[in-house]
Amino acid sequence: MNLIDTHAHLYQEEFLPDIDGVIARAKENGISKIYLPNVDVPSIAELKALVLKDPALFIPMMGLHPCYVKADFKEQLAIIEAELRHGKYVAVGEIGIDLFWDKSFLMQQQEAFRTQITWAQELNLPIVIHARDSLEEIFQILEAQEGPPLKGIFHCFSGTVDAAKRVIALGFKIGVGGVVTFKNAGLDKVLKEIALEHVVLETDAPYLTPVPHRGKRNESSYVKGIAEKVAELYALPLSEVARVTTENAAAIFDF
């Protein structure tokens, strides 16, 4: 069985004491690739160091996370763009808009998002989108974007069935993680209305830990439990969910 964690922050300090164990458990549970989204300028060095530890397992992306878009965002973008253009990255991410924590930088977040989308188009790379309390703002930008068509993932999707259909119409996959195991999240109802061919698996480790591990640090080995829940919802064998979601990830990341 081959599973892909399309989104994990395993380079963060939470994993420093036992990263070897985290890697071993991921491999034991069938995870063959872990995609690492960058978040800001300081995280670049941490991300690159982890990739060097196991380049076959860890696949890096490069981007400026919307929660780190502040007054100095143009200076950060300049550094991130140089890294993206000179390094080996498979996607621009994670990027997007977050209006949950702070709405005061909405205009700057929109500008940063558009700028990074343009990089992806120039470099023919997918984008990995962070959308928290901001789906409509993100749809407006994507639906108005000119130039080459885009593809990518709506990471940690938490919208309605109609929103999921808009994501699919744009040519994007829906990132499903630990939230699908939460009792009242509603993601189970959304998935029952869309085909598995539109879904990829993720953890967002160390965040959004799935049941029955909720309350603890998330890690990539828990993708298997997420896949088991998805298999239950679609009434499919786990092996089929693994096959289809891995093919879906391959369609985005070209592996």
Q: What is the pLDDT of residues 164-179, one digit of tens each?
A: 999 999 999 999 999 9
> Do the beta carbons of residue 41 and residue 50 sit within 8 Å?
no
- pLDDT score at 8: 98
| Whole-prediction pTM | 0.97
Mean pLDDT in residue range 100-116 = 96
What is the pLDDT, as a whole number, of residue 200?
98
**Band (24; pLDDT cuts 50, 70, 90):** very high
Using alpha carbons, list the distances in angstroms from residue 51 to 35, 88, 89, 176: 10, 11, 11, 23
Q: What would the pLDDT profile of 41-85 be if each residue is shown by its tens digit? A: 999 999 999 999 999 999 999 999 999 999 999 999 999 999 999
Domains of the chain: 3-253 (3.20.20.140)
Nearest partner of 65 among 23, 127, 19, judged by Cα: 127
Average pLDDT estimate for 205-230: 97
Write out pLDDT tens, residues 122-147: 999 999 999 999 999 999 999 999 99
Q: What is the DSSP string of 118-159?
A: HHHHHHT--EEEEEES-HHHHHHHHHH--SS---EEEET---
Q: Judge contact between 64 and 40, C-beta under 8 A.
A: yes
Rounded to whole angstroms, the Cα distance separating 148 from 120 reads 9
Tell me what the pLDDT averaged over the chain comes to: 97
What pLDDT does residue 101 have? Answer: 86
Please name the residues in contact with 185: beta carbons below 8 A apart, sequence gap of 6 or more. Answer: 158, 179
Whole-number pLDDT of residue 145: 95
Check the CA dihedral 119-99-230-60 and report its sign. positive
pLDDT of residue 153: 98
> What element of type H or E holds 96?
strand 92-98
Q: What is the pLDDT of residue 116?
A: 98
DSSP letter at 218?
-
The Cα 110–Cα 98 span in angstroms is 10
